Amino acid sequence: MSSSKSANPSSQLTPTGGPTIIPNPPPNTLRHPVRFITTHNHTTGQAILHSSTPVPFRLYDNNNLSMGVAYTTSSFPPNLNSDADITAHTSLMSSGTLGLVNPGGTVLRCVDFAPGYACGMHRTQSLDFWDCDRRGGRDGVG
C-alpha cells in the first residue's frame, strides 16, 4: 500500500474540513446518464417504456463536483400500482423539497467527482450505493 498523500483522499481536505478546489478541472468526457422509466400495460401485463430523459445535473465547486437525481421512491417497498411510484417521484422532484435523503424512501443520485477532488462526506440514516468508474472519464485522468 502506498503512503502517498494522493492515495488518501481525506489528506486533501483543507484545514477547515472543506473541499479541495481544483482551479481548472479537466473537461468531463463521461457520457451523461439517461433515466429509463418502465411501467406495464395494465391489460396485457407487458413491460413498456414510460419515459427516457437525461438526468438533470447541478454543478458545484468550480465544476469539480456534479450531482443529479435519477429516481426516488417515497416508500419502501415502493407502491408500483397504477404508476404510483412514478407520480410520487415526479411530485417530489417538482416540489424542490428533496434533501440529502428521502425519509422512508430511496434516492438514486449520480455524483461525479473530478480527478483529485476531495470533499467531506456525510453521515445519514440512509443506505447509499456507489458505482465507481475508474476509466478516467475526464480526458483519461483518474
Residue scoring higher pLDDT (19 or 65): 65
pLDDT of res. 63: 83
pLDDT of res. 139: 46
Q: Domain locations in the chain?
A: 55-124
Give residue-wise pLDDT tens across range 72-94: 999 999 999 999 999 999 999 99
Q: Which amino acid is at 22?
A: I
What is the Cα–Cα distance from 125 to 92, expressed in whole angstroms?
A: 19
pTM over 0.75: no
Angle at 12 between CA 131 and CA 6, to 5 degrees: 70
Overall average pLDDT of the 45-61 stretch: 93
Q: E strands along the chain, which residues?
A: 34-40, 47-54, 57-60, 65-73, 106-113
